[in-house]
Structure 1
C-alpha cells in the first residue's frame, strides 16, 4: 500500500516531462493509465537503444503503468474515454495550449464530466503569453531563461548542458508537487483545478542568487565572474596531471584552509582579497602537478569539499550508491531487464511499481469497456 493507492491518473503525455511525473505517482501507488495513439504509441517507444519491443527510455519511464490505445481525433473518442475520466483523480497532458480543447478534452470540457478532476497541463512556455505556442526543446528553455548564458567554457562560449533540466526539474517535478497540493486542496473544497506548469517559468528559481543580485542593484551576474560560475578559486574545476578533473568547492574558510594546506598553495594566494584570476591560476598549477588518484588519496578523510569528476558509469557503480540501494530494483520483461530509474521518493513511500514492467501498447484497452 503506497500513499497514493487508490488514486487514478489518466496520462495523455508523451516523451519525458509528463511520463516522468506520472512515473513518480505510479511508484507512490497511483494507477497510471497512458493514453496512446494506435500503431505507434508514445514516440519514446521508438527510441534507441532497445530493450525488447520498446526503447530503454520508454521501459524506464513507464514501468508499472497501463496503456490504452485510441485515436483521439475519432468522433467517438470522447464518449469512449468519458467513463475513465469520470472516475479519474488526475489528468496529465503535455500538448501545446489549445490542442486538448480542440480534441474535446480541454479543462472546461472534462470539468463538466468530472468537477473533482485535477487537470495538469505541462508545457514549455505555459498556457498564456506570447511564446505559449512556440515550438522548443530543453536547450531553448535553458537558453532563454539565462541559465545557459551563465555556463561557459574557456573560450567564453556556452557549454551544452548534459541534463534535461527544463523537462525534469522545470516540468516533471513541479507537476508532481503541484498535483499533490491540488489533491490536498480538493480534500478541503471538493473541487478540481487546472494546473499550468511552465518548464521555462520553473527554471528561474535555479538562478535565484543571480536574479536577487540583479534586481537589488548589486549587478547582474557574468559568466566566469561569480562564485558559482568560475570567478573564485574556492569554487572551480581544475585539470589533473592525467587529464582528469577535480571539482573543488572549499568555500568556507575552514575548508579553504584545509584545501590550501594539502595542495601546498603559496601563502600569497590564500588571501580571499587577492586577484582571483591569479589565485585560480596558482591553484590550477598545483592541481595539475598530481594525478586524480593521487589527489583523491590526499583528500580522503579531509574536510575539503573536493571530488574527482566521475563518469556516469563510475557514478552509477559508486559503492555509496550501491549502499543506498538506488539501482537495486529492476524493470523489463522476458526480453531483458535493467536497473529501474531511481525517482525522488523516500523509500518508505515506494511500492511494487518498481518491479512491474512497462505496458505493451493498448494492453489495457479493456478499460474502455468497463
Structure 2
C-alpha cells in the first residue's frame, strides 16, 4: 500500500523532542527521513533519562521509521557529502541556533544553488531574528514570553507549569504543517523556499483566545471572560470519594442545567460563570456533592446524560482506558536492542493511506555506510573517513 508521503525525502539535522516529533509524523506518513547526527554523540536526546536498556524512551518513540547517518558538519568532507545529499532530497530540516548553518557554509542561500527545489526549514525557540533570537531557552521560557504561563493558574495566584511541554510539541506540528505547505507550493511553482518558525511565535498564535479577549475587553484577565482556566464552577475539576478526580466542562447552559438536574442542585444555576466569592461558595457546594461518590460511580451516573465530563486519567489509567485502546493510540513494536516497545499510535486516521510503523528507531549511524555507498563512496573511502572523524566508527 502506498503511503501518503511516499517519495518525499527529508534530511533531518535537528535534535531533541520538538523536532524529532515533526519528522516522526512525516515519517509515519511515508516520508523517507534521514537523521544526520554528530559522530559519537548523535542526537543527545538518545542519552537523556529515562533510559530503557540503552537509549531514551521518548527518543525511541519519536524516531521510528527513520534512518541515521553520522556526519561531522565541521569537516569539509562531511559538508561535501551533505551537498551531494541535498541534490537528491526534497527537504532539509534543522534546529541549530540562528546563523549556525550559514556559518558552516550550508545555509539556505548556499544550498538552493545546488537544489533550487529544496524546502529548507529552520525551527528555533525565538526565531532567526529579533531581540531574543540569541537567547537559549526551553519550553517554559517560550510559553512565558507568549503570555500562556501567566494565564495558566492565574486564579491560584501564581503561574502553573503545564504537565507536558506544549511549545515543544506544538513546534513539531507547526513545522510539519509548514514543510507540507512548502512542498505543495513547490508543486505549483517548481521552486523551493526557506521556511522559518519559532516556538514563541507558535505559542503567541496558540494564545489567540486571550489576545482576542483582551482586545475586546481591555482587561488583562482575558481567559477569565470565557471561564476556561479553572476559575468558574462550570469548567472545573472535582475530587471524588476515592481521592480521584473528574473534569466537568459545561460552558453551554444546556449542559450546565443537565448537570445540576442530575445532582439535584438546580439552585446553583446562576453560578455557572461565578468568580470571586460567589465562585468559592458554588465550588464549596459542588465539592461536597462530588465527594459523596467514587469516580467510577460518578462516571456511571454521568454516562448518557448529555453532560461534558471525563475521568482525570493518570498514566496507568491512560494505558488501560478502553477508548484509547479502541483508537489504537498505544502500539507495540520491536527494536533490535530494546526488544518489545510500547509506543504512541497515530493521531491521524487515513482511510486509503494509513500511517504505519515500518522500522524501529535506528541505532546511531546505522545507515551511514548504506547512504555513502549509494553516493558512490567505496569501503576504502569510508574507512578513511572514519579515521579522520568525518563519520562515526
TM-score when normalising by structure 1:
0.93
Report the alpha carbon displacement of residue 158 of structure 1 after superposing the two structures with TM: 1.6
Task: Identify the range of structure 1 (66-75 vs 276-285) with the bigger mean alpha-carbon deviation.
Answer: 276-285
The CA distance in 2 between the partners of 1:76 and 1:203, in whole Å, is 39
Report the alpha carbon displacement of residue 258 of structure 1 after superposing the two structures with TM: 1.4
The CA distance in 1 between the partners of 2:337 and 2:149, in whole Å, is 42
Match of 1:346 among 345, 349, 353: 349
Where does 1:136-155 land on structure 2 (aligned, <5 Å)?
A: 136-152=137-153, 155=156
The CA distance in 1 between the partners of 2:127 and 2:115, in whole Å, is 23
1:336 lines up with 2:325 in the alignment: no
Report the alpha carbon displacement of residue 41 of structure 1 after superposing the two structures with TM: 0.7
Once the two structures are superposed, residues 37-64 of structure 1 have per-residue CA deviations (whole angstroms, 9 ceiling, x without a partner) of 0111110111233344322222111111
Task: Identify the range of structure 1 (183-192 vs 329-338) with the bigger mean alpha-carbon deviation.
Answer: 329-338
Match of 1:302 among 287, 301, 305: 305
The CA distance in 2 between the partners of 1:343 and 1:199, in whole Å, is 23
Task: Tell me the SS of whatever aligns to 1:204.
Answer: helix
Task: Tell me the SS of whatever aligns to 1:215.
Answer: helix
Task: Tell me the SS of whatever aligns to 2:106.
Answer: coil
Task: Tell me the SS of whatever aligns to 2:141.
Answer: helix
Report the alpha carbon displacement of residue 6 of structure 1 after superposing the two structures with TM: 1.1
Query: Unaligned regions of 5+ residues in structure 2, if any?
Result: 376-393
* CA shift in 2, pair 1:3/1:309, >3 Å: same
Query: Unaligned regions of 5+ residues in structure 1, if any?
Result: none
Provide runs of 4+ in structure 1 moved above 4 Å.
222-226, 268-274
Once the two structures are superposed, residues 242-300 of structure 1 have per-residue CA deviations (whole angstroms, 9 ceiling, x without a partner) of 22222111221221111111222251554547633422332222222332222122212
Task: Give the match for residue 175 of structure 2.
Answer: 175
Once the two structures are superposed, residues 198-238 of structure 1 have per-residue CA deviations (whole angstroms, 9 ceiling, x without a partner) of 11111123222211111234523267675101232110112
Task: Identify the range of structure 1 (11-20 vs 237-246) with the bigger mean alpha-carbon deviation.
Answer: 237-246
Task: Tell me the SS of whatever aligns to 1:358.
Answer: coil
How many pairs were matched up? 368
The CA distance in 2 between the partners of 1:83 and 1:299, in whole Å, is 61
1:187 lines up with 2:191 in the alignment: no
Task: Tell me the SS of whatever aligns to 1:101.
Answer: helix
Once the two structures are superposed, residues 309-338 of structure 1 have per-residue CA deviations (whole angstroms, 9 ceiling, x without a partner) of 111221132111111122234242253121
Report the aligned-residue RMSD: 2.0
The CA distance in 2 between the partners of 1:135 and 1:205, in whole Å, is 21
Task: Give the match for residue 384 of structure 2.
Answer: none
The CA distance in 2 between the partners of 1:257 and 1:317, in whole Å, is 32
Task: Tell me the SS of whatever aligns to 2:194.
Answer: strand
Match of 1:318 among 317, 321, 324: 321
TM-score when normalising by structure 2:
0.88
The CA distance in 2 between the partners of 1:104 and 1:268, in whole Å, is 67
